[in-house]
Amino acid sequence: MHANTPIKPAYIDLHVHSTASDGSLSPVKIIQAADKANLRAIAITDHDTIDGSVEALQHQHSSGVEILPGVEISASFESGAMHILGYLIRLDDVSLRGVLKVLQKARASRNLQIIERLQGLGVDISYDEILKASGGGQVGRPHIAHVLVQKGIVQNIDNAFNKLLRKGSPAYAEKYRLLPVEAIEAISGAGGVPVLAHPFTLNAKTEGDLERVLVELKQAGLKGVEAYCPGHGPELTAMYERLADHHGLLVTGGTDFHGALKPEVHIGIGRGDLRIPYRLVEELKKETNQPPSPSLSP
């Protein structure tokens, strides 16, 4: 190899939000941040939209960072939050785009309901303020939380969720969600690989409970589990690796980076100690008919 050929460290971040949903950085800024963090590959996995992935892929040439098309879809689940990540989806898939449009409409009407509830509680806030804060992408509760903090109504984002926005709080409004099988099929139907995001948010009480959910999701077409993310300590990570291995699911990882809307989480490294190896991208690609990546060394 030529002495000056840069060698990219083989680390990745497969869970990143952009301004197309509730991240604070544009796709181009995310690519720059990923490049600076020496990441070899990222996926922009915005809530209910592929606009961030489309834009990132248009700018892929601007750096050495490989962009995997991605999305994150919420599914209905009784005891917690179930998010399904979709990787290597065809971004022009008509059926996936149709599903996302339905979810975007549901999101918009739910946001209005939240604002009405806040106003009903006497909070001085308008939908326009939220739209402005969101910068034109899909609006989510983190944007509402951000405005509540800015206006001094709550102290921080955590307070905003705990006092007002989380399920069970006074300004919470339900949102139409796909069934888990529908979310999985929307992703598979677009040639993508469906992966269960941050499994700890399911609030499964025991390993056995989580295993039962995973078995059902696998029967519906799930291909992987996000074993590496900032909310997991070493014990949970080991449990997810064990369950994935036992059930023939692949593992993925990402930080759930939201920029300034979750400032303690940094791209690629989470709260500082996350390192996700590039070989997981190779495993993902094997689940589709994608060509393998160019090799790291000559």
**Does the footprint of Fe ion cover residue 256 (CB under 5 A)?**
yes
Encoding tokens for residue 273? 């100690």
List binders of ligand AMP among 243-282 (CB under 6 A): 258
Give, in order, the Cα–Cα distances in Å from 244 to each of 11, 73, 119, 223, 270: 21, 21, 45, 9, 22
Least distance from Zn ion to the Cβ atom of residue 294, Å? 32
Q: Tokens 């039962």 label which residue?
A: 212
Beta carbons of 234 and 205 less than 8 angstroms apart:
no
Q: Judging by DSSP bridges, how do beta strands 41-44 and 66-75 pair with one another?
A: parallel
Cα separation, 37 vs 185, whole angstroms: 34
**Does the footprint of ligand AMP cover residue 140 (CB under 6 A)?**
yes
Cα separation, 235 vs 48, whole angstroms: 31
Q: Which of 15, 40, 141, 146 binds ligand AMP (CB under 6 A)?
A: 141
Give first-to-last CA distance, the chain, whole Å.
Answer: 7
Cα separation, 190 vs 92, whole angstroms: 8
Span of 27-35, 77-85, 166-174, 228-236 interacting with Fe ion by CB under 5 A: 77-85
Q: Which of 92, 116, 158, 245 binds ligand AMP (CB under 6 A)?
A: 158
Among 281, 233, 240, 217, which Cα is nearest to 83's?
Answer: 217
Q: Which of 157, 190, 243, 280 binds ligand AMP (CB under 6 A)?
A: 157
Span of 57-65, 83-91, 133-141, 223-231 interacting with Fe ion by CB under 5 A: 83-91
Span of 12-20, 32-40, 192-200, 276-284 interacting with Zn ion by CB under 5 A: 12-20
**Does the footprint of Fe ion cover residue 232 (CB under 5 A)?**
no
Would you tell me which residues interact with ligand AMP (CB under 6 A)? Answer: 47, 140-142, 157-158, 161, 166, 258
Would you tell me which residues interact with Fe ion (CB under 5 A)? Answer: 72, 83, 197, 256
Would you tell me which residues interact with Zn ion (CB under 5 A)? Answer: 17, 22
